[in-house]
Amino acid sequence: MGDHHHGPAKGLGRWLFTTNHKDIGTMYLWFSFCMFILGGTFAMIIRAELFQPGMQLVDPEFFNQMTTLHGLVMVFGAIMPSFVGLANWMIPMMIGAPDMALPRMNNWSFWILPPTFLLLASTLFMEGGAPQAGWTFYAPLSTTYAGPSVTYFIFCIHVLGLSSIMGSINIIATVMNMRAPGMTYMKMPLFVWTWLITAFLLVAVMPVLAGAVTMMLMDVHFGTSFFSAAGGGDPVLFQHVFWFFGHPEVYIIILPAFGVVSQIIPAFSRKPLFGYDSMVYATASIAFLSFIVWAHHMYTVGMPVSGELFFMYATMLIAVPTGVKVFNWVTTMWRGAMTFETPMLFCIGFLVLFTIGGFTGLMLSIAPADFQYHDSYFVVAHFHYVMVAGAVFSMTAAVYYWLPKWCGRMYNETMGKTHFWISFIGFNLTFFPQHFVGLAGMPRRIPDYALQFADFNMMSSIGAFIYGASQILWLYNVIATIVAGEKISDEKVWDGAEGLEWTIPTPAPYHTFETPPKIDPAHAHS
């Protein structure tokens, strides 16, 4: 054994040249946390300006840069890479593989991210400022009317797409080829399933986004008119192309979150997941439907009524598989023997708040009603319920759940629970009132507002500061755990947890499953 079984290299080189899935997963996770803090800082600036009516702190132009960068950094910098990091850590350990299938590409797909976000952040200091057309960057505001930084922005999007596609190909190749003997598809943990489907979505839609920004580049620099009616183009074409990417994108964000929740709820209910098969089918259905609903983001652009009807019906249908998922989670809890450690608390928070986000999503799918909801704060509230209480809460749950396995030390449970309750209260204080102001007529992306919206906005801002501050507690807890947490060595950190990752030593050694584990053919999925 001796010579073959080596540990990590020493120094900076370990991180720069690593091809180890655990190292790369760790880097993804830390990077995404940094981006979470950066995007959160932008959000704090937004909420500080909106604390009361009038322009207090920033110029409207800078405000627009903040809303744009907040969205871009959170979606592309925080949420997506965090789940890629989790996939890197967990997928090989869950399917009994020694590493990812394409370890060198894995290194590359991570290391192109930090310089890209550095470049994106540097646009803040460029002449004309950072991009300010929103994270959806509708043409022609983002083309003909954009500042010079748009070119850098386009380059960043291209590189982020590249990174995502490489990450996805790696996940697909790993899941398809590296499963331990006996680990059939229908025995894979749901987290692996949701990521496999997500990876296909990414490979399908990132090139579409690349196409959209390439057309922008042509319009800005090479005299084409893809998005300008004056030259025979159509600004609405941009929206169609963007949302053909953008709608699957929101499922790219939420499907791995579904996977995480499907691992954690059974563990703390001490009862197998109810309806594993239908969870897999529901995930696949959601993925399929995500390709045929994009124009529900565009009900007000003046589509023909037949188009509106098609997109309305297709969108309403998504409620069916999503409902199946929620019902299955609740039924998994039913007659279990539950305990409520931090990961479980975040999963229950996810379940309640994501379901509320699902309800508002259903409301938004109704085209006639959307004529009132569209582009109002109601939409802002809706997507933060699914993005933050959905994706971010589940990611937080995942970190608390697997951190002890990763570093062989237990986090501080009291601090974890405190983090949950402050987050939960802060989150709801921030976003629940936004439903009200939206319904009462407050448009999104405005730096100043009419007086009747003042009270709820102040409430929202206070909530946002609370939610933001609670993340410092999380950071502290994680660092304290890694540095000085109580050492543990049980293979199974949680008594109800199932799956191959709980059969290896704690902390997880640098190399795992160098020889594939034996999967009991009689044993069901984990």
The interface with other proteins within residues 339-378 (CB under 8 A) comprises 339-340, 348, 351-352, 355-356, 359, 362-363, 366-369, 371-372, 374-376
Active site residue 419: no
Q: Does 151 bind other proteins (CB under 8 A)?
A: no
Tokens 């386009």 belong to which residue?
Answer: 154
Q: Does 274 bind other proteins (CB under 8 A)?
A: yes
How many other C-beta atoms lie within 10 A of the C-beta of residue 475? 13
Residues, the chain: 526
Q: Cα-Cα-Cα-Cα dihedral of 329, 199, 252, 349, to 10°?
A: 30
CB of 290 to other proteins, least distance (A): 17
Q: Does 17 bind other proteins (CB under 8 A)?
A: no
Give the separation between CA 512 and CA 93, rounded to whole angstroms.
7
CB of 225 to other proteins, least distance (A): 10
Give the separation between CA 32 and CA 42, rounded to whole angstroms.
15
| Eight-class DSSP state of 189 | -
Written as six digits, the tokens of 513 are 């499953």
How many other C-beta atoms lie within 10 A of the C-beta of residue 466? 16
Cβ proximity to other proteins: between 340 and 421 the closer is 340
CB of 222 to other proteins, least distance (A): 16
Q: Does 458 bind other proteins (CB under 8 A)?
A: no
CB of 422 to other proteins, least distance (A): 20
Cβ proximity to other proteins: between 2 and 368 the closer is 368
Active site residue 5: no
Q: Does 217 bind other proteins (CB under 8 A)?
A: no
Give the separation between CA 345 and CA 396, rounded to whole angstroms.
10
Site for other proteins, residues 107 to 146, rule: CB under 8 A? 132-134, 138, 140-141, 144-145
Q: Which of 71, 256, 404, 447 binds other proteins (CB under 8 A)?
A: 447
Interface stretch with other proteins, choices 2-10, 18-26, 407-415, 447-455 (CB under 8 A): 447-455
Cβ proximity to other proteins: between 140 and 485 the closer is 140
Site for other proteins, residues 222 to 251, rule: CB under 8 A? 228-230, 234-236
Active site residue 297: yes
Written as six digits, the tokens of 58 are 């920033």
Cβ proximity to other proteins: between 271 and 409 the closer is 271
Instruction: Return all residues near 85 (Cβ < 8 A) that are at least 6 apart.
Output: 24, 25, 26, 27, 28, 29, 31, 32
CB of 365 to other proteins, least distance (A): 9
Written as six digits, the tokens of 175 are 């899941």
Instruction: Name the E strands within 195-297.
Output: none
CB of 196 to other proteins, least distance (A): 21
Q: Which of 58, 112, 317, 410 binds other proteins (CB under 8 A)?
A: 317
Active site residue 325: yes
Give the separation between CA 210 and CA 403, rounded to whole angstroms.
35
Site for other proteins, residues 413 to 442, rule: CB under 8 A? 436-437, 439-441
Tokens 């940094």 belong to which residue?
Answer: 34
Instruction: Name the E strands within 407-485.
Output: 409-410
What 3 state SS string does 452-518 have? HHHHHHHHHHHHHHHHHHHHHHHHHHHHHHHHHCEECCCCCCCCCCCCHHHCCCCCCCCCCCCCCCC
- Note whether 1 and 47 are within 8 A (CB): no
Written as six digits, the tokens of 93 are 């350990």
Name the residue type at position 143: T
Q: Which of 269, 396, 461, 481 binds other proteins (CB under 8 A)?
A: 269
From the candidates 21, 179, 187, 247, give the one annotated as an active-site residue: 247
Q: Does 167 bind other proteins (CB under 8 A)?
A: no
Q: Does 522 bind other proteins (CB under 8 A)?
A: no
Cα three-residue angle 273-500-30, rounded to 5 degrees? 95
CB of 192 to other proteins, least distance (A): 18
Q: Does 263 bind other proteins (CB under 8 A)?
A: no
Alpha helices of 123-234 — where are they, by DSSP H? 150-177, 190-221
CB of 324 to other proteins, least distance (A): 6
Q: Which of 64, 194, 396, 423 binds other proteins (CB under 8 A)?
A: 64
Tokens 């054994």 belong to which residue?
Answer: 1
Q: Which residues are catalytic?
A: 70, 99, 135, 163-164, 247, 249, 251, 262, 296-297, 322, 325, 444
